[in-house]
Chain A
Amino acid sequence: MPDMLRLASHDGALLGAQPTPADAALAVRGMTVSYGQKPALFSVDATFPSGVMSAIIGPNGAGKSTFLKAALGLIPMVSGEVRFFGLPLAQARSRIAYVPQRASVDWDFPTTVIDVVLMGRYRRLGLLRRVGRADLALAQEALARVGMEGFAHRQIGQLSGGQQQRVFLARALAQQGDLYLLDEPFAGVDAATEAAIIEVLKALKAAGKTVIAVHHDLSTVADYFDHVFLVNVRAMAQGPVASAFTTAALSQTYGGRLGAGQLDQLHPAKG
């Protein structure tokens, strides 16, 4: 299926790239981001279909998190265009829920679990409106969905790593978005939490929502995700897992960092 296998050539242009569909949950064209003089992402084109679960995959320092942050406008792009559901970020913001890396915040911050989840409601509450019964119910329900209903009034510093990640996911659920962008949701969490999170994400997909996650565990890609985007500064390959998550694409993305034996163990789809 060479027509479905979109491999990037080394000038960053995509071979066989199709025009950006307007209904894609996230479409990025020509995204270039640099820290100082060194490009973290160079002329990246990527399209994420709506209603499925997509993984962003690549080695350390490949720009996976940078891709999400730049798409959300958290860090400036040197050049590039980003569309969510065919709209610019400002018009699509209420439909997007972002789950940053757990390590990005100070967990000794004076707040409780329910207060963190309610932060997902702040956009709707604005400056003055009080937290209503409906907001509280939504936050409680979000906590229940991640298996943390008994922890509402716990201080966040008392949570384990897996519980912290669940609280972050609950905060995103409380936003009631259509697109969920998760940055390494499974990094440093226990197996039970990983299973609980994947269950929530699959339920979101079943409800017609879109999930895009930065993912680092190649062995679970085929089980968890429908669509992959392989990146290493440049876009390397993208498409359905069956056609794009190939040994050839992986070895190109990771360079010499994955041994042939490791690649075989992953059992990716044969391209």
Chain B
Amino acid sequence: MVGFLDAITLQAGYNAALVTVGATLLGFAAGMAGTFLFLRKRALVSDAMAHATLPGIALAFLVMVAFGGDGRNLAGLLLGAAASALVGLALVDWIVRRTRLAEDAAIGAVLSVFFGFGVVLLTVIQSLERGRQAGLEDVLLGATAGMLMQDALLIAVGGAVVVALIVLLRRPMTLVAFDPGHAAALGVPVGRVDMAMMGLVMAITVIGLSLVGLILIIALLIIPPVTARFWTDRVAPMLLIAGAVGGAAGYMGAALSASIPDLPTGPMIVLIAAGLFTVSLLFAPRRGVLAAILARRRFQARVHWRQGLLSLARAEPIHDPLTLRILRAAGAIRPDGVATDKGRALAAKSLRDERRWEIARAIHQDTALTGRYDGLTPIEDVFTPDQIADLDTRIGPPQPVGGM
């Protein structure tokens, strides 16, 4: 049993350190590659692709054994994985273009057929004399126990190349993801940009096979960008945040699995990523669930506040308990419901602002300005003091607020 502190400071042994560094780099690259996949709304295509690697891996093993080589040669297995992923991807693309089937149906068909075929091949391999020790089923969920320096190097180099290509292609990929029609009219080769994007995702899938396995790689591609989306409204920061989330999940997940015996690395990485996603979903400013509830509450309070003030100004009775509570809390009315001096002044101002808005909407036909009239935005936020003074001269002198 190795301590978590040791694992997280890379002091838990050579293999654990390799796995941790590899998982961090893979997570970072996967998060960035997944961002454009998510923005292009093709997240599930990568799932089909990942599952389609399985028959390729099995076939590559069989071919290498048939030619008298070592069936477990990593480069050979990854080459097979890439080749059959490519076939699966092309098949999804072909079905969508040549038939009336939608992409989700094509993905479902390709994913299950390829995966089923792969499992059959794995069963065949295990029945062979030489296949029994192959441990090919590790590609399903990943295995890190036997990770070598060259595996970590593969992830490091592959990840770095993927990240560099994403930085290079970020403009065309953004254009294509946002508005493919406009991008094509600009002369961006949309088909080739999409192909490059899927190629990057395929590279991540293949180099991530040995670490997290083909079933869970989709999580590393998709969870970081959807997590990042909660924190930003722009593509460039989203790329960085997604990379950071993926990297952090890889680091923490690998360290945790190294510190507790028999805890699998891939699933731990995914669970950590899911934890970051859940925290973002709940607590992110503006887009999070909690922020949405608070914003709704604030909005409701402002509506009641304004209605209450206007009722005070017009000397109408107020019955709504929430309105009364808000007015009382702000010191606009006394506990018995009678307006205070402060309340009267605020009421007069809100009535005056209503009139100002009326005039403003008559003058400024352009909705870019008056479109911001929602009855709640203070008029001072929209118009300059000079403009407001101009509005006031059109209203005339202030009217006394009567009858309280």
In the bound complex, do residue A128 and residue B168 qualify as a contact, i.e. CB atoms below 8 Å apart?
yes
Q: How far is the CB of B239 from chain A (nearest CB, A)?
A: 10
Q: How far is the CB of B197 from chain A (nearest CB, A)?
A: 15
Q: How many residues of B are counted as interface, with CB atoms below 8 angstroms from the partner's CB atoms?
A: 29
CA distance A93 to B186 in the complex (A): 7
Closest B residue to A93 by beta carbon equals B187
* Stretch with Cβ within 8 A of B (4 or more), from A114-122, A215-223, A242-250: A114-122
Contact A98-B366, Cβ < 8 Å, known A111-B234, A115-B234, A119-B178: no
* Set of chain A residues within 8 Å of B188, measured between Cβ atoms: 122-123
In the bound complex, do residue A150 and residue B168 qualify as a contact, i.e. CB atoms below 8 Å apart?
no
In the bound complex, do residue A125 and residue B182 qualify as a contact, i.e. CB atoms below 8 Å apart?
no
* Set of chain A residues within 8 Å of B232, measured between Cβ atoms: 110
- The residues in A between 93 and 125 inclusive whose CB is less than 8 angstroms from any CB of B are 93-94, 96, 98, 100, 104-106, 109-112, 115-116, 119, 122-123, 125
* Set of chain B residues within 8 Å of A157, measured between Cβ atoms: 233
- The residues in A between 108 and 152 inclusive whose CB is less than 8 angstroms from any CB of B are 109-112, 115-116, 119, 122-123, 125, 127-128, 147-148, 150-151
In the bound complex, do residue B181 and residue A109 qualify as a contact, i.e. CB atoms below 8 Å apart?
no
In the bound complex, do residue B367 and residue A193 qualify as a contact, i.e. CB atoms below 8 Å apart?
yes
Q: How far is the CB of A125 from chain B (nearest CB, A)?
A: 7
In the bound complex, do residue B179 and residue A74 qualify as a contact, i.e. CB atoms below 8 Å apart?
no
* Set of chain A residues within 8 Å of B234, measured between Cβ atoms: 110-112, 115
CA distance A116 to B175 in the complex (A): 9
Query: Which residue of A100, A128, A160 contacts B179 across the interface (Cβ within 8 Å)?
Result: A100
In the bound complex, do residue A147 and residue B185 qualify as a contact, i.e. CB atoms below 8 Å apart?
no
Query: Which residue of A94, A109, A166 contacts B177 across the interface (Cβ within 8 Å)?
Result: A109
Interface residue tally on A, bucketed by range: 35 or more
Instruction: Tell me if A171 counts as interface (CB < 8 A to partner B).
Output: yes
Q: How far is the CB of A113 from chain B (nearest CB, A)?
A: 11
Q: How far is the CB of A235 from chain B (nearest CB, A)?
A: 23
* Set of chain B residues within 8 Å of A100, measured between Cβ atoms: 179, 181-182, 185
Query: Beta-carbon contacts of B227-266 to A below 8 Å, as 1s and 0s?
Result: 0010011110010000000000000000000000000000
Give the 9 A-B residue pairs with the shortest CB-CB distance, closest first.
A98-B185, A155-B233, A100-B181, A93-B187, A105-B179, A123-B186, A72-B185, A192-B367, A110-B233
17 contacts between A and B (CB under 8 A): A69-B181, A98-B185, A98-B186, A104-B181, A105-B179, A109-B178, A110-B234, A112-B233, A112-B234, A119-B179, A119-B182, A123-B187, A147-B366, A147-B368, A155-B233, A162-B367, A196-B366
